[in-house]
Amino acid sequence: MSKYSEFPDNLLHAFIDGQLPGPDRERLLTAMETDPALADRICGLQRTKAWVNLAFEEVHATPRPLPALRSGRNWPRLFGLAASLLLLATGAVLGWMLSPSAEPLQSVVLRDLEAGHHKVLLHIDRSDRERFDEILDGAEQLLKNYKERGFEVEVVANAGGVDLMRADVSPYAARVSRLLEEHDNLRFIACINTLQRLKDNGITPVMIERTRHDTTAIGHIIHRLQDGWAYIRV
Amino acid sequence: MTTLYIFRMSLIDRLCDSRALRQRIAGSRDRLYRVALAWSADAMVADDLVQETLETALGKLHQLRETERLYAWMYSIMNNCWRHHLRRQKPDCELDDEQPAEDNDPAQLSDRHALVAQVRTAIARLPIGQREVLTLVDLEGFTYQEVADILEIPIGTVMSRLNRARAFLQTALRSLRPEARGEVAQLRRIQ
Where along chain A do its domains lie?
9-56, 74-233
Q: Does A110 touch chain B (CB under 8 A)?
A: yes
Q: Averaged over A54-81, what is the pLDDT?
A: 65
CATH architecture of A74-233: 3-Layer(aba) Sandwich (3.40)
Q: Give the closest residue to B132 by CA, choosing from B105, B171, B93, B104.
A: B93
- Enumerate the residues of chain B whose CB falls inside 8 A of the CB of residue A17: 137, 144
Instruction: Out of A86-95, A138-147, B17-26, B132-141, give the one with best mean pLDDT.
Output: B132-141
Q: Which of B1, B6, B23 to mutate to test the interface with A (most CBs of A within 10 A)?
A: B6
- pLDDT band for A18, please (50, 70, 90 cuts): very high
Pick the residue from chain B with its C-alpha nearest to A68. B55
Q: Looking at the complex, report in whole angstroms how far the Cα of residue B93 sits from the nearest Cα belonging to chain A.
A: 24
Check whether A107 has a pLDDT greater than 60: no
Distance CA A116, CA B16 (A): 14
Q: Does B138 touch chain A (CB under 8 A)?
A: yes
- Taking CB atoms and an 8 Å limit, are B4 and A225 in contact across chains? yes
Lowest mean pLDDT among A80-84, B122-126, B159-163: A80-84
- Taking CB atoms and an 8 Å limit, are B166 and A84 in contact across chains? no
Q: What local confidence, expressed as pLDDT, does residue A100 receive?
A: 40
Say whether A47 sits in a helix, a strand or coil: helix
- Enumerate the residues of chain B whose CB falls inside 8 A of the CB of residue A126: none
Q: What local confidence, expressed as pLDDT, does residue A7 receive?
A: 86
Domains by residue range for chain B, with CATH: 9-93 (1.10.1740.10), 95-191 (1.10.10.10)
Q: What local confidence, expressed as pLDDT, does residue B99 receive?
A: 61
Q: Please state, as a whole number, how many other Cβ atoms lie within 10 Å of the Cβ of residue A66.
A: 13
Q: What local confidence, expressed as pLDDT, does residue A69 receive?
A: 53
Q: What local confidence, expressed as pLDDT, does residue B97 receive?
A: 58
Cβ contacts of B115 within 8 Å, gap of 6 or more: A51, A54, A55, B109, B176
Choose the closest CB to B11 out of A55, A63, A109: A109
Q: Does A112 touch chain B (CB under 8 A)?
A: yes
Of the two residues A228 and B50, the one the predictor is more confident about is: B50
Q: Does A230 touch chain B (CB under 8 A)?
A: yes
Choose the closest CB to B58 out of A58, A64, A67: A67
What are φ and ψ of residue B78, in 5° steps? -65, -35
Q: Give the closest residue to B50 by CA, choosing from B34, B61, B64.
A: B34
Q: Does A67 touch chain B (CB under 8 A)?
A: yes
Q: Could you tell me the sign of the dihedral formed by the alpha carbons of A127, A132, A133, A135, in that order?
A: positive
Q: Looking at the complex, report in whole angstroms how far the Cα of residue A169 sits from the nearest Cα belonging to chain B.
A: 24
From the DSSP assignment, how many helices (H) and strands (E) are in chain B? 9, 0
- Taking CB atoms and an 8 Å limit, are A228 and B2 in contact across chains? yes
Distance CA B56, CA B40 (A): 19
Check whether A232 has a pLDDT greater than 70: yes
**Residue A166: DSSP 8-state:** B
Q: What local confidence, expressed as pLDDT, does residue B183 receive?
A: 52
Q: What percent of chain B has pLDDT over 90?
A: 54
- Taking CB atoms and an 8 Å limit, are B18 and A135 in contact across chains? no
Q: What local confidence, expressed as pLDDT, does residue A110 receive?
A: 58
Q: What local confidence, expressed as pLDDT, does residue A144 receive?
A: 84
Q: Averaged over B80-91, what is the pLDDT?
A: 86
Check whether A12 has a pLDDT greater than 50: yes
Q: How buried is A144 (Cβ within 10 angstroms: 0-12 exposed, 13-18 middle, 19+ buried)?
A: exposed
Distance CA B105, CA B159 (A): 27
Is the pTM higher than 0.90? The answer reads no
pLDDT digits (tens, 9 = 90+) for A108-148: 555 566 555 678 889 999 998 988 988 898 888 888 877 77
pLDDT digits (tens, 9 = 90+) for B28-50: 999 999 999 999 999 999 999 99
Q: How many CB pairs under 8 A join A and B?
A: 193
Q: Are A221 and A93 in contact (CB under 8 A)?
A: yes
- pLDDT band for A103, please (50, 70, 90 cuts): very low
Q: Averaged over A22-40, what is the pLDDT?
A: 90
Q: Which of B5, B54, B118 to mutate to test the interface with A (most CBs of A within 10 A)?
A: B5
Pick the residue from chain A with its C-alpha nearest to B114. A55
Measure CA A111 to chain center: 10
Q: Please state, as a whole number, how many other Cβ atoms lie within 10 Å of the Cβ of residue B98.
A: 8
Q: Averaged over A204-217, what is the pLDDT?
A: 93
- Taking CB atoms and an 8 Å limit, are B159 and A10 in contact across chains? yes
Q: Averaged over A151-170, what is the pLDDT?
A: 93
Q: What local confidence, expressed as pLDDT, does residue B174 receive?
A: 84
Q: Does B63 touch chain A (CB under 8 A)?
A: yes
Check whether A97 has a pLDDT greater than 90: no
Check whether A40 has a pLDDT greater than 80: yes
Check whether B4 has a pLDDT greater than 60: no
CB contact residues (below 8 A), chain A span 6-65, against chain B: 9-10, 13-14, 17, 19, 44-45, 47-49, 51-56, 58-64
Q: What local confidence, expressed as pLDDT, does residue B178 receive?
A: 66
- Taking CB atoms and an 8 Å limit, are B167 and A9 in contact across chains? yes
